[in-house]
Amino acid sequence: MTPRGWAVLTLAALVLALVVVGALLVPWSRPPAPRADQLAALRDLPADQVARGRALQAALRPGRYTGLAVGLLVALLLGLTPLGARLVELAGRPFGDHWIARAVLGGIAVVLVADLLTLPFAAWRQSVLTRYGLSTQGWGGWTVDLLKSYALSAVLAATVLLGFYTVTRLAPRWWWAFGAAGAAGLVVLLSFVLPVLVEPVFNRFTPMEQGPLRTELTALAERDGVPVRDVLVADASRRTRAVNAYVSGLGPTRRVVVYDTLLREATPAEVTSVVAHELGHARDRDVWTGTLTGALGAAAAVVALYLVGSWTPLLRRAGVDSIAEPRAFALLIALVTVVGLVAGPVQALVSRRVEARADAHALALTGDPTTFEAMQRRLAGVNLADPDPPRAEYLWFASHPSTVERMAAARAYAREAGR
Ligand SMILES: [Zn+2]
């Protein structure tokens, strides 16, 4: 069998594995809370809170969609015309057209052009968040964060670009196999490394101080049978007024992180409710599931790129001979951008199902739907969320159930528990 035949077979196996993992590990069977309960919850929210959340979302909308469109357009323009190839050549010229210069500098140049052209929309978003009092960060801090993330991306991109184009040179017929294994390995590695190496670049984490709340949370984790190494507090307040908590890392790097804003804004019982939700993620191994699907997806993407990349009309459009050469990097980015846009709603749907399961876990663990609902109201109020967002936007972007869905789920739990 030819390398191409093996690639088709591998892609089929990876897609099958993704479908199996998705079918087995995603909680599909949990029906959403009845719409009537959601509408009742919406009526119970203060009208001015709902209006303020909707006003912010409306103010963010034009910039968000224009930014998305510009990002897509730039990717297509660079990838489906010879412009991208020319940009890569240009970046390699001062270094005698050496392939490493083309691969690393050319690749970074392509990404940077797209980043810079969408930068005004990021700045616009920041100005809206400041106007609504949600961001507490000045332009200086915002710029520092931006430069830090550029620097981090550049280091990561340089490593990946150098690795990838070394493999395509050494194994011109089989690079897709090594590339797929490498991409999967990178996803797993980043799951371990990001919380330890990258999160501290942007925030300071301190163990939650000793006291009744910490004792309560540790006892809760113990009761739940979830080994959590530490409960950390992040100094999110220097950037935002928004409240949040999350669980990240795998095995020895796993931790529950609570925003300092949450501790300031919410009652201890509400913080407990949020942490109970996070424990649900740990208990159901949601980070593992995310890492596994991410690894399978990344491997499948590399093989698919190899197969699509052998389509001559596409290569001719980009003015390149092969998808595996550095000059074709912009074409690669264009394909990845389109796939990412299409995969977005699927990822959002899976994420909402997983989040709903963590909510159910929090309700069962605390047995306190009243506090859970109070916390959801507070989350929506402080974060200026639209408690019941437009359907299309919800389907496309929402990683969590809406506020009214979460409130309705609490009410459904209360009804069932009272029975
Ligand atoms: Zn969650």
Interval between CA 282 and ligand 1 midpoint (Å): 10
- For range 204-231, the mean pLDDT: 87
Determine the Cα–Cα distance for residues 245 and 209; give it in Å rounded to an integer.
16
Residue 198 confidence (pLDDT):
84
234 sits in the region (left: phi over 0; alpha: psi -120 to 50; else beta) called beta
Q: Which tokens sit at 101?
A: 């210069």
Interval between CA 57 and ligand 1 midpoint (Å): 21
- For range 288-303, the mean pLDDT: 94
pLDDT of 254 > 80? The answer is no
Interval between CA 392 and ligand 1 midpoint (Å): 22
Interval between CA 277 and ligand 1 midpoint (Å): 6
- For range 2-26, the mean pLDDT: 95
Half-sphere exposure of 266 (CA within 13 A, CB side): 33
Q: Which tokens sit at 246?
A: 């999350």
pLDDT of 294 > 70? The answer is yes
- For range 335-353, the mean pLDDT: 92
Its pTM stands at 0.89
Residue 244 confidence (pLDDT):
87
Residue 263 confidence (pLDDT):
93
Strands 205-207 and 231-234: antiparallel
Interval between CA 306 and ligand 1 midpoint (Å): 35
Closest by CA to 24, choosing from 360, 296, 228, is: 296
C-alpha angle 191-192-197 in degrees, rounded to nearest 5: 105
Interval between CA 26 and ligand 1 midpoint (Å): 14
Interval between CA 67 and ligand 1 midpoint (Å): 27
User: Per-residue confidence at 247, pLDDT binned at 50, 70, 90?
Assistant: confident
Residues 248, 255 contacting (CB under 8 angstroms): yes
Closest by CA to 335, choosing from 68, 117, 80, is: 80
Q: Is the dihedral of CA 193, 197, 201, 205 positive or negative?
A: positive
Residue 419 confidence (pLDDT):
58
Interval between CA 286 and ligand 1 midpoint (Å): 9
Interval between CA 259 and ligand 1 midpoint (Å): 14
- Spatial strand order of the sheet with 245-248 comes to 205-207, 231-234, 255-259, 245-248
DSSP per-residue codes, 154-215: HHHHHHHHHHHHHHHHH-TTTHHHHHHHHHHHHHHHHHHHIIIIIHHHH--EEEPPSSHHHH
Interval between CA 322 and ligand 1 midpoint (Å): 42
Interval between CA 12 and ligand 1 midpoint (Å): 31
Strands 231-234 and 245-248: unpaired
Could you read off the pLDDT of 170-198 as tens digits, one per residue? Answer: 999 999 999 999 999 999 998 888 878 88
Interval between CA 10 and ligand 1 midpoint (Å): 33
Interval between CA 281 and ligand 1 midpoint (Å): 7
pLDDT of 19 > 90? The answer is yes
Provide the 3-class DSSP secondary structure of residue 135.
strand
Q: What is the mean pLDDT of the chain?
A: 92
Residue 360 confidence (pLDDT):
95
Name the β-bridge partners of 248: 255
Interval between CA 353 and ligand 1 midpoint (Å): 10
Residues 252, 202 contacting (CB under 8 angstroms): no
Interval between CA 246 and ligand 1 midpoint (Å): 7
Interval between CA 82 and ligand 1 midpoint (Å): 43
Determine the Cα–Cα distance for residues 301 and 11; give it in Å rounded to an integer.
9
Interval between CA 361 and ligand 1 midpoint (Å): 11
Determine the Cα–Cα distance for residues 231 and 191; give it in Å rounded to an integer.
18
Interval between CA 65 and ligand 1 midpoint (Å): 26
Distance of alpha carbon 299 from its chain centroid, rounded?
18
Interval between CA 189 and ligand 1 midpoint (Å): 22
